[in-house]
Structure 1
Amino acid sequence: MTYPLQALRTFVEVGQRGSVKAAAQALHVTPGAVSQQIRLLEDRLGVVLLERERLGMRLTKAGASVYPKLLEAFLQIDKAVDTLEATTSRKSLTVSTVATFAASWLVPRLGRFKQHNPDIEVRVEATSELVDLRRARVDIALRHGLGNYPGLDVMHLMAPVLVPVASPAFLKDQQESITDAADCLRFPLLHDSDRADWALWLNAHGVHEDPRAERGSAFEDEFLLIRAAEAGQGLALVAQAYARSEIEAGRLVQVLDKPWPARFAYYLVTRPGAATRPEVKAFMDWICQEAATSMQIDQISASHA
């Protein structure tokens, strides 16, 4: 019988961190995707490997019996791949990130990297599927989370500035205006999958806990969230960098001049020692400079909104 390798890796990540959420951040996927992989593995084996407890997940007796061997196996695979890559002299690199960040921020800027580094080929993997940086042929991951990626080299890249937006048609149809943060609660709110940003944004602007902050439709991808706002379905709290073109084109309006730094940030993540490769170092230096410039532009835009 064969077993799904990705599910085995997911089990190792949860066992190592004791948390589905922490494993999801490390693998650059949603907690739901992690839980699905664990269920797949347990169904295939016919045994429970992890049990939920108040502060996270713990290994069952069966899970604890196989976890050390699986962990060692994946570490050996990682070392073998590192050795193989070290023997090559390819002038290329693979960057993994989610589709929203790739399309709205990274890809439009890649031309500048190619101008200064014409001999380096960049391959962008835009996916929300499980990404194992230590095993997959990925040189750099641009991950959105809290920066907790054990065993990897992590560099803070930038924290998106969130702004509330809506379509002009939606605002025109409303009988009430929006003059402060609390007014947003009277309108349909659109969320990302975590449903956390609105409550945090409202609290940051003096609006205390309110159950209305968690109501409304939720979307897995920020592109979908922006499209829903454009379609007039409600107010969305989105990264200013992602919505800049829609705002400039008049398809969206920033409803309040109350930008707020997101709780989660983007991090540049690599395997230990990856920066010793000249092409990886060149890309890291370039993207850090681009991120700094982007944050300065966001701050200027926010001050003139």
Structure 2
Amino acid sequence: MTLPLRAIHAFVTTAQLGSMVQAADRLGVTPSAISQQIQQLEAHVGTRLFARVGRRIILNEAGERYFELIREEVERIDTATQQMRGISAAQVLNLRVAPTFAVQWLLPRLPRFMQDHPEIELRVDATNDPPDFEREAIDLEIRHGNGAWAGLHVESLAEERMLPLCSPDLAAAGSLDAHSLQDHRLLHSIKNLTGWSHWFAAVGVAPKPDLQRAHFDRAHMSISLAKAGAGIALESTLTAAAEIASGALVCPVKNPPDLTQRSLWIVGPPLHFGRRRPRRFIDWLRRELAA
């Protein structure tokens, strides 16, 4: 009996998205086509795979078991097909990049890489979700964290200096000391390895118990709020390089401590670092960082 591959693909996509409408949109067909494919598959395996709850459909017990049995194989076929599709597939470079670094630093510079390497088709996924390099077609990742990831090749991108930064409309450059800085709202990116407690410890000042604070899960949010005059952010001079260069952000503290961190890393399987396209990107990245 012929295996109904299109029906299986429709089933897996619907199970992943939890919606026939969304599955139809992803696969470029109508919802009725998805429904027919699933009915065909249910007839093929001899049991119902979905149950309807209100206006939603969910996997029933048999559907959950079938999905777990075939999911990895279907995803591997899909990944292999994407890798082989077209002659230009050999020139694709798939990157996963920490969102703030992508927005604040990488994207403004990527046109130079594309101009230097027109033969490489870039695909950039800006997310903090670590890839499964064995199952996903990701060549390299620029990851934010402490660099301790077993089984992967990890290279530090840069040593970042951490500075208090704010709009010059809030406080002029060098106009505050560590004590008067505490009269302003302090903005903090929770994913930063270095926080305000580290900064106050470096200057030898015990922070006041009633500090005004605001916390964000992305550094570019903290930077944006600082530019808007909402407070003083403690951020990397690498991440905020454009705002510092334009004068949109200044360091309001006289003689700030030399506080640094290493939180950005190039990550991937060791084999990937010897391949031509990843190597060209890494070499370009190193030149841009040095400049």
TM-score normalised to structure 2 length? 0.63
Partner secondary structure for residue 227 of structure 1: helix
Amino acid corresponding to residue 137 of structure 1 in structure 2 = A
Equivalent position of 1:31 in the other structure: none
The alpha-carbon deviation at position 126 of structure 1 amounts to 1.3
The answer for unaligned runs of 5 or more in structure 1 is 6-43, 45-69, 294-305
Change (3 A) 1:221 1:214: farther
The answer (yes or no) to whether the contact 1:161–1:259 under 8 Å persists in 2 is no
Residue 50 of structure 2 corresponds to which residue in structure 1? none
Instruction: From the superposition, tell whether residues 110 and 152 of structure 1 become closer, same or farther in structure 2 (CA, over 3 Å).
Output: same
Deviation string for 1:68-116 (max 9, x for gaps)? xx9xx98xx88x9699969996111111112221122112222332333
Please name the residue that 2:185 is paired with.
188
The residue number in structure 2 matching 1:206 is 204
Given that 1:182 and 1:202 are in contact with CA atoms closer than 8 Å, whether structure 2 keeps it comes out as no
Name the SS of the counterpart of 2:222 in structure 1.
Answer: helix
Match of residue 34 from structure 1? none
Match of 1:230 in 2: 227
What is the alpha-carbon distance in structure 2 between the residues aligned to residue 261 and residue 290 of structure 1?
Answer: 23
Q: Tell me the distance in 2 between the aligned counterparts of 1:216 and 1:149.
A: 32
Judging changes above 3 Å, is the alpha-carbon distance between structure 1 residues 261 and 107 closer, same or farther for their aligned structure 2 residues?
Answer: farther
CA RMSD, 1 decimal: 3.7
Contact 1:247 1:253 in 2 (8 A): yes
Task: Provide the rounded CA distance (Å) in 1 between the counterparts of 2:181 and 2:133.
Answer: 40
**For residue 193 of structure 1, what is the amino acid of its counterpart?**
I
Q: Deviations over 1:223-270 (max 9, x none)?
A: 110121122221111121333333344432221242644434211001
Equivalent runs, 1:60-71 vs 2, <5 Å? none
Specify the SS of the correspondent of 1:258: coil
Alignment partner of 1:240 is 2:237: yes
Q: Does 1:91 align with 2:64?
A: no
Residue 100 of structure 1 contacts residue 222 of structure 1 at CA under 8 Å; is this kept in 2? Answer: yes
Would the alpha carbon gap of residues 217 and 137 (structure 1) be closer, same or farther in structure 2, given more than 3 Å must change?
same
| Aligned position for 2:5 | none
Select between 233-242 and 251-260 the one with higher mean Cα deviation.
251-260
Name the CA shift for 1:133/1:184 in 2 (closer, same or farther; >3 Å).
Answer: farther
In the TM superposition, residue 144 of structure 1 has moved relative to its aligned partner by 1.2
Aligned to 2:272: 274
Name the CA shift for 1:93/1:191 in 2 (closer, same or farther; >3 Å).
same
Partner secondary structure for residue 241 of structure 1: coil
- SS of the counterpart of 2:143? strand
* Partner amino acid, structure 2, of 1:269: V
Distance 1:182 1:194, change over 3 A: farther
The residue type equivalent to 2:150 in the other structure is P
What is aligned with 2:107?
107
Whether the 8 Å CA contact 2:223–2:240 is kept in 1: the answer is yes
Which residue does 2:289 correspond to in 1?
291
CA contact (8 A) 2:202 2:257 kept: no
Residue of structure 2 equivalent to 1:146: 146
Tell me what 1:58 maps to. none
Q: Please state whether the residue corresponding to 1:150 is helix, strand or coil.
A: coil
**Residues 170 and 232 of structure 1 are in contact (CA less than 8 Å); yes or no, is this contact kept in structure 2?**
yes
Structure 1 84/225 Cα, relative in aligned 2: closer, same or farther at 3 Å? closer
Larger radius of gyration: 2
Q: Which amino acid aligns with 1:191?
A: H
Map 1:104-183 → 2, pairs under 5 A: 104-129=104-129, 131-171=131-171, 177-179=175-177, 181-183=178-180
Rounded to whole Å, the distance in 2 between the matches of 1:93 and 1:212 is 49
Q: Is the 8 A contact 2:182 2:211 kept in 1?
A: no
Contact 1:185 1:213 (8 Å CA) reproduced: no
CA contact (8 A) 1:96 1:138 kept: yes
Q: Which residue of 2 aligns with 1:36?
A: none
What is the deviation of 1:129?
A: 4.2
Counterpart secondary structure, 2:261: coil
